[in-house]
Structure 1
């Protein structure tokens, strides 16, 4: 891991870091879309672009998120930088678990499975190993349960071209 990556992981625990990072999400979304998930979060931590279907609008909504691999699947967490409300993309997955990810230049159709019980704990350990600040996010979120999803590839082909911005 690079020095900058290690510093980023330490800074991630600070409330101001989350606020600053939220301001950069629109730019990160564009860069991730243009690079088909090759460059997300400046390449500092493993990230992908997830495209969900808006639960109210029905339109595609794309967001950069940190992930950890789990076999052929990707594990993501709806931490929302420790805010007291869930991110829209996580609520979209609860309404419609079919999604698409752009990761490392590949586009894949996935189905979100919300983790619970022992599986949730196992995936939580994977996530905090990659991004220790998730522990701080839970405290800042007032102890609310943060959704953890395992994104399993469905084998369905995804359309060519970049996903729509959300």
Structure 2
């Protein structure tokens, strides 16, 4: 991964301080994991992928993976688009001690689909090496100013994935 640049707007200054404060708030850490993903999924479905509440502050995509039992899983994730063909997602799990389920799904099966602003894109996930994660740190903090705080709070190495478009035919949109 060689010095990528975000191709979407940077989060800087006042907005970055706001994101860090909101991300570290007791309310978000306690209630966010239970409220935000269902709300984002519901609004995503209602608006045909055009809007989610979390997008008021950060860029969000929906990651479609498959659970071990074969059932589909749709997870809203803060994401950055680092090149035209690559997104980066961080498995912070709101700073909780366990890795989120979706990261286990990607490790088991790296082929997935993302819904980026209503467009389904097939991707292949790759876990960044510790060296690549350090190299991408400034880019990660530009999108998620509370990343280091979550890493410290969780007491684990946060998994960071590059999701690269893989050229497979996009799946048909489902009603999920």
Q: TM-score, normalised by structure 1?
A: 0.87
Deviation at 1:82, TM superposition (A): 0.4
Mapped contact 1:13–1:133 kept (Cα < 8 A): yes
1:76 to 89, 94, 97: 89
Deviation at 1:126, TM superposition (A): 1.1
Unaligned runs of 5+ in 2: 1-10
Q: Secondary structure at the match of 1:49?
A: strand
Q: Distance in 2 between matches of 1:15 and 1:94?
A: 30
**1:65-92, CA deviations, whole angstroms, 9 ceiling, x for partnerless residues?**
0001111210001110000001000111
Q: Distance in 1 between matches of 2:22 and 2:50?
A: 23
Mapped contact 2:16–2:142 kept (Cα < 8 A): no
Mapped contact 2:17–2:145 kept (Cα < 8 A): no
Task: Look up the match of 2:137.
Answer: 124
The count of residues paired between Structure 1 and Structure 2 equals: 162
Unaligned runs of 5+ in 1: none
2:25 to 6, 9, 14: 14
Task: Look up the match of 2:164.
Answer: 152
Q: Distance in 1 between matches of 2:175 and 2:148?
A: 31
Q: Distance in 2 between matches of 1:97 and 1:14?
A: 32
Runs of 4+ in 1 over 6 A off after TM superposition: none
Relative to structure 2, which stretch is displaced further, 28-37 or 79-88?
28-37
